[in-house]
Chain A
């Protein structure tokens, strides 16, 4: 018999063992829960869905609030410290609120060789923020990203799910206009 992973839903609803682990101020939506459940089915072990689960939450909320860590830990039956360990490891999981649009500027070598720094400076100037920051109107968050695999179009960047490149520093303002 193989071990059953601890499924929180199967464990007792009333317990003598007090734990301060699960604040209940966060609720997964039904779709979120369903999407996570479905993802679990793709793997030998529900833990494997942890990254996808974080992405599912982030997709709907823009970021991963604290409560989601516990909620996901519950659904997957793994410790919340494991979920947080994963959430804080991966660069595309946001553990802080981000703007409506996330700009990922490739800062790797090929874009660097095609004048990425000027492009970055243009964004910084235009938005008045640096990497890791969000504009005051909550419209944009600026982040660096590993080589986007668009080296032949450097300097390249992504805004939300759109890839742009090469981008001329002079075109930054008009590019941003496409994202309300």
Chain B
């Protein structure tokens, strides 16, 4: 069962990610993949490009990380420790896709596993990696099956192994499936999980490129980011840049999508910088009788935007300036009859539950946040709750917690309070409850 993918006419020039997707939605096998210039990029690269040249090309293409962070992949690759005396490290594909509202990597992995494999070989070559791991969330059973099959095909065809496509480069890929927990998507927590540990994030610095999996230089990239590699190698950075034209400084195309109460939720590959309105229109607009009240541009950890923001270009900088984040670029729409308080409560429940428990603000601040939201949702809030939420949201912000999980939780809360304060105020029924009208002294020494 696959996601709806808009655009019937997709071609390699304009839809580098999805042009191979079959109408019957069966996975694209090795033969078919190679018939459509699959693995040509790897061959060209190994024949013509040094790792440094490859990295330069990636940098020029300006592929910004599709996992949600938006960090330039080329830049990341250029920072990986390489050279004399440095052990060969790892490429890790972040296929943990658990960001609420995100369903793009699933399509790429289920239908185009060879595209991902090719992308990983390219990243592996650029970063002098010995092995690649695909860190796939455990629930993606179908994807696991298809990737495993593709890996076997690739190995059998000599595409993976001691001599990749016959060239003097050895590289193989293992599939690793997870056992739940959203935090595994955070790249350093992911590495800990890959090493068989509790998925607590690691401090940065040192960055994974210096000391990652098993202390070796490691590059973590999102599935979609990696899938951009082959076309860039094949067609060049200029072509890639030109895909988004004047719309955005970010190059290439993006797998956008929309969920929530639209008529036809689904995915679409559009040039970077399409507008949210285009994407929602593609999905047939809101279901009958519903109006758009707000939207999340790219997952549960992005900030709420309003209908007035619909024409903003969906790229990292523009959405950032509007007070949110592009995130994964998959919108969730909220209809006029839906409660922002409830949705925010749902999000904060999620983030509180998925906190790894390493740092205090996230571990103990989020449950408190969620509990206040439960009160407000039930109409049992108290005076001061909103101020408390504001202060919590600020204390959970960037730089204050160990990783970006809690800031991700803070953003929807902060923006919900900003845009929909009245809805929260409506949840307050108690001026302040008897029991603690007088604050309780904790005791002193």
Interface of A toward B, CB cutoff 8 Å: 42-45, 47-52, 54-55, 76, 78, 82, 85-86, 89-93, 104, 107-110, 112-114, 145-154, 158, 161, 163, 165
User: How distant is A36 from chain B, measured CB to nearest CB, in Å?
Assistant: 12
B410 contacts the other chain (Cβ, under 8 Å)? no
Question: B residues 286-341 with Cβ under 8 Å of A?
Answer: 296, 300, 330, 332-335, 338
List residues of chain A with CB within 8 A of the CB of B259. Answer: 110, 113-114, 151-152, 154
User: How distant is B62 from chain A, measured CB to nearest CB, in Å?
Assistant: 27
B343 contacts the other chain (Cβ, under 8 Å)? yes
B180 touches A109 (CB 8 A): no
B14 contacts the other chain (Cβ, under 8 Å)? no
User: How distant is A2 from chain B, measured CB to nearest CB, in Å?
Assistant: 11
- Apart from the given pairs A51-B193, A114-B261, 20 other A-B contacts in the complex at a CB distance below 8 Å: A43-B194, A44-B213, A45-B195, A45-B214, A52-B176, A82-B197, A86-B197, A109-B101, A109-B296, A109-B300, A109-B343, A110-B332, A114-B259, A114-B260, A145-B139, A146-B100, A146-B182, A147-B99, A147-B182, A147-B300
Closest to A41 in B: B174
A44 to B88, CA, bound (A): 12
A146 touches B180 (CB 8 A): yes
Question: B residues 63-116 with Cβ under 8 Å of A?
Answer: 97-103, 105-106
Contact for A146 among B98, B106, B194, B258, CB less than 8 A: B98
B271 contacts the other chain (Cβ, under 8 Å)? no
B33 contacts the other chain (Cβ, under 8 Å)? no
List residues of chain B with CB within 8 A of the CB of A48. Answer: 194-196
Known A-B contacts A45-B214, A89-B199, A112-B343; the reply to A151 vs B332 at CB < 8 A is: yes
B350 touches A86 (CB 8 A): no
A151 touches B102 (CB 8 A): yes
A48 to B177, CA, bound (A): 12
A151 touches B103 (CB 8 A): yes
Contact for A108 among B100, B137, B141, B216, CB less than 8 A: B100
B10 contacts the other chain (Cβ, under 8 Å)? no
List residues of chain A with CB within 8 A of the CB of B330. Answer: 151
B179 touches A113 (CB 8 A): no
Interface of B toward A, CB cutoff 8 Å: 1, 3-4, 97-103, 105-106, 137-142, 174, 176-182, 193-199, 213-214, 216, 257-261, 265-267, 296, 300, 330, 332-335, 338, 342-343, 346-347, 349-350, 354, 356
Q: Can you report 29 residue pairs joining A to B where beta carbons are below 8 Å apart? A: A42-B174, A43-B214, A82-B197, A85-B198, A86-B197, A89-B181, A89-B198, A89-B199, A92-B178, A92-B180, A93-B179, A107-B349, A108-B101, A109-B347, A110-B332, A114-B261, A145-B180, A146-B100, A146-B181, A146-B182, A149-B97, A149-B102, A149-B103, A150-B106, A151-B100, A152-B257, A153-B1, A163-B1, A163-B141
List residues of chain B with CB within 8 A of the CB of A52. Answer: 176-177
List residues of chain A with CB within 8 A of the CB of B101. Answer: 108-110, 147, 151
A146 touches B338 (CB 8 A): no
A153 to B262, CA, bound (A): 11
A154 to B103, CA, bound (A): 11
A51 touches B196 (CB 8 A): yes
Known A-B contacts A45-B214, A51-B196; the reply to A109 vs B346 at CB < 8 A is: yes
List residues of chain A with CB within 8 A of the CB of B347. Answer: 109
User: How distant is B246 from chain A, measured CB to nearest CB, in Å?
Assistant: 30
Closest to A144 in B: B353
A148 to B196, CA, bound (A): 23
Known A-B contacts A47-B197, A152-B4, A153-B1; the reply to A109 vs B100 at CB < 8 A is: yes
User: How distant is B267 from chain A, measured CB to nearest CB, in Å?
Assistant: 7
Known A-B contacts A113-B261, A145-B139, A151-B332; the reply to A108 vs B180 at CB < 8 A is: no
B196 touches A108 (CB 8 A): no
B346 touches A149 (CB 8 A): no
B138 touches A92 (CB 8 A): yes
List residues of chain B with CB within 8 A of the CB of A90. Answer: 178-181, 199
The 6 tightest CB contacts between A and B, nearest first, are: A91-B180, A151-B259, A152-B265, A92-B180, A90-B179, A108-B100
List residues of chain B with CB within 8 A of the CB of A47. Answer: 195-197
List residues of chain A with CB within 8 A of the CB of B97. Answer: 149
Q: Which has the most chain B C-beta neighbours within 10 Å: A78, A86, A113, A150?
A: A113
A161 to B143, CA, bound (A): 12
Q: Which has the most chain B C-beta neighbours within 10 Å: A42, A149, A153, A161?
A: A149
Closest to B334 in A: A113
A74 to B423, CA, bound (A): 55
User: How distant is A85 from chain B, measured CB to nearest CB, in Å?
Assistant: 5
List residues of chain A with CB within 8 A of the CB of B138. Answer: 55, 92
A149 to B177, CA, bound (A): 15
